[in-house]
């Protein structure tokens, strides 16, 4: 599985289907990663040699550009985190973003501090939080997904189907926000996190995810 987002007890929050981590699915997961890597390398090769990529010739730059387009392209994603932010990192201005927030932003998503107009996804550790209840009541077109959905988007650099990671019934008419203008991707010194009654249960994660992804792809 994708154990990048864990709680303090060691449960893999990405195991959305409740499978036991007994090693039975390791081969399947490895095969999936190989398929994703092959697809990324194919797209990377095409972009590297395309005339439109003349100003983005380094592999890391191209990877970052490809990743930013994942959740930024229409319909652009506006996500809210539920139960995934350590309590001590909430309501504090910091130059270091919580990893789960950074993953979402690097995918091109806009991270909202709370459920609000235009929200497309609540990325949650578990069902039943106050944010999830409000999203279902006030914005029935919002997806309620496990963290594994976001991690699969990150590792595959594609927008993954929410169905296999969804909690509860799928929305009949998903929220369709307006396209995000280029200026919206600029960094803003704003408060992204808001404390609520949800208990955070995430361990600290390594902050050098880009380098790890590039090493995996290049076989270093």
Helices first, then strands: H and E counts in the chain: 6, 4
CA distance readout (Å), 190 to 6, 69, 113, 199: 26, 22, 10, 23
pTM for the full predicted model: 0.69
Asked if 63 and 157 count as a contact pair (C-beta separation under 8 A), the reply is yes
Question: Cα–Cα distance between 128 and 201 in angstroms, integer?
Answer: 15
Q: Which helix (H) or strand (E) holds 30?
A: helix 26-48
Residues in the chain with pLDDT values less than 50: 1-21, 180-207, 209, 213, 216-220
Burial of 57 (0-12, 13-18, 19+ CB in 10 A): exposed
Q: What is the pLDDT of residue 16?
A: 39
pLDDT, tens digit (0-9, with 9 covering 90-100), for 147-185: 999 999 999 999 999 999 999 999 988 876 655 444 444
Q: What is the pLDDT of residue 211?
A: 53
Backbone angles phi, psi at 88, to 5 degrees: -70, -10
Annotate 200-219 with three-state secondary structure. Answer: CCCCCCCCCHHHHHHHHHHC
- CA atoms within 13 A of residue 85's CA, in its CB half-sphere: 29
């Amino acid at each position: 599985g994708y154990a990048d987002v864990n709680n303090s007890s060691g449960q893999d929050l990405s195991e959305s289907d409740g499978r036991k981590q007994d090693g039975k699915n390791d081969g399947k997961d490895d095969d999936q990663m190989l398929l994703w890597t092959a697809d990324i390398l194919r797209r990377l090769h095409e972009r590297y040699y395309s005339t439109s990529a003349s100003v983005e010739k380094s592999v890391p730059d191209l990877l970052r550009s490809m990743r930013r387009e994942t959740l930024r392209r229409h319909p652009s994603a506006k996500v809210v985190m539920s139960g995934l932010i350590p309590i001590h990192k909430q309501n504090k201005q910091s130059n270091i973003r919580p990893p789960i927030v950074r993953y979402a932003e690097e995918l091109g998503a806009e991270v909202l501090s709370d459920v609000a107009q235009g929200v497309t996804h609540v990325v949650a550790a578990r069902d039943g939080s106050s944010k999830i209840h409000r999203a279902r009541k006030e914005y029935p077109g919002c997806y309620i997904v496990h963290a594994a959905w976001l991690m699969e988007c990150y590792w595959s650099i594609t927008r993954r189907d929410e169905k296999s990671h969804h909690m509860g019934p799928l929305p009949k008419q998903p929220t369709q926000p307006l396209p995000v203008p280029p200026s919206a991707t600029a960094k803003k010194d704003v408060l992204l996190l808001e404390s609520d009654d949800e208990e955070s249960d995430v361990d600290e994660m390594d902050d050098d995810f880009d380098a790890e992804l590039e090493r995996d792809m290049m076989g270093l």
